[in-house]
């Protein structure tokens, strides 16, 4: 079952542990992107926005599961 009004690929049927694992990976990815931006390394700026949206979606699903 998908969240209403969401184009999310994350199902509510995914276990909480898997969601937490994906959330940690996304947060690490966001940190890496911000680090690249601060050190002026090449990166794709739109990936920051996409990653932040992914984190928000995962947090919303986790909140709804609890």
* Structural domains counted in the chain: 1
pLDDT of 11-42, one tens digit each?
A: 667 899 999 999 999 999 999 999 999 999 99
Q: pTM of whole model > 0.85?
A: no
Q: How far is CA 56 from CA 19, 26, 31, in A?
A: 12, 10, 15
- Structural domain range at position 51: 16-65
6 belongs to a structural domain: no
41 belongs to a structural domain: yes
11 belongs to a structural domain: no
Contact 60, 5 (CB under 8 A): no
């Amino acid at each position: 079952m998908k969240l209403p009004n969401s184009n999310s690929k994350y199902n509510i049927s995914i276990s909480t542990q898997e969601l937490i694992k994906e959330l940690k990976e996304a947060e690490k990815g966001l940190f890496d992107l911000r680090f690249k931006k601060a050190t002026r390394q090449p990166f794709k700026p739109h990936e920051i926005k996409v990653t932040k949206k992914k984190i928000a979606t995962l947090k919303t699903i986790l909140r709804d599961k609890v």
